[in-house]
Structure 1
């Protein structure tokens, strides 16, 4: 694709942090005319050398084209960058990490200023951008017609997954998946802490840990989703709540023996005990979800 190709739609990009810069380079490489703006103007210089046009202000950048993509620090940064811009007739795609409520508020704000709005949640780190085999993608939600119009352009840096007309759903999917990731990181940290002072090689231990987490995660996630859908938490239970709760003292005792804080395990174990106290020993662990909703 070249800059003269009718498929290479012009793009305006506000924000040139690590992610914004990675996004910019993929659009440039694909031949899209690119206008960039960043609060620190020095960050635009390498991209100008690669063919981008730098705007002196956010307002000038927005005026340069119809598709405006924002990738800034937070929602307040978006407000500040766009406060003096004319968004009438613009297609605004916000890839800034925000909460679902902030995304919905920003959608209403953009619509009131004459723009169509699409929110995005990036499920990738900068080195994954522009590398299809890395598996990165972006959740999008908001105006369906806007997504359809720009889907090919948006798919240049990473895969696209449209998750509905509610503009808050991309952010919600993003944070939900990242929350699960941090829960996994917490368990991984605890596991490594347990072996830290032993004659166990962390490098040799790592594939065992990864294999076990993978083997447990897939069926557990699928079963939890099925049980939440049916409302029956006792279907296809392999290790019930009563049995698993009875085993938790061993984990806590092992942590104590190894001189490891149980602070990453205790909150989840406490939820398991609360659910068991409600008289649900034959259930799976799915009931913990309901406790979190109270």
Structure 2
């Protein structure tokens, strides 16, 4: 346990990005639909790159040890630009409403009114129930200047916009930690329910969002019927099919309640961390955007 008030601001700002962020903190380990990046071409037996020489002097490791990810298949391999694009897409998936919203009408010109089916209370708990939860990739294998750099997602993508917008993301070792807080039956029921969605079947982010809404509607629960939110893992495969998608295609009116237009724009334009090509380490202030 870390006494958060006794350490530096930079470290307190870092931990939510490293360990996941969820608007309803008390419900962080509660069963719910979870979108997981999935790499069907992942090579089993793939090990971290060893003896990578940084252009800067090596900085000693700190006390922090990274937990192994739950799914090695969530390790993604690509160029810096490809991985940043997909990281932005995952962030946006965590920002959209899980249900359709009322569109703007030309006759009234009024702001859209969001459907209120998912409200279970006031404040953060309600907002969390209306957003997709997204799991961070386990690791990134980055093809850069003829070398392959293996890096943690939080050492590559600046997640500050995620934390500021309270987008619901979970850490790579999420299920490992959830097992300590759930009953064995709850944990088994959640982790054994899997669906796989091929991103190659869609041509844009809006079409994917529409499909996910329809697919997962039975799992989000409804206060009007008394049904509870249910746990399920949705594996998003063939991620490179999304590299031609424009992230501007997602209508800002699709955003979940509580997110501003500024929040969505910040998620869409997230930058890489400075020094993402260095050895895995935890310097103060990580990560400062490029």
Q: Report the TM range for the smaller structure's normalisation.
A: under 0.3
Which structure has the larger Rg over C-alpha atoms?
1
- Provide the TM-score with structure 1 as the length reference: 0.22
TM-score by length of 2: 0.22
Q: Comparing both chains, which one has the higher relative contact order based on Cα–Cα distances under 8 Å and sequence gaps of 6 or more?
A: 2
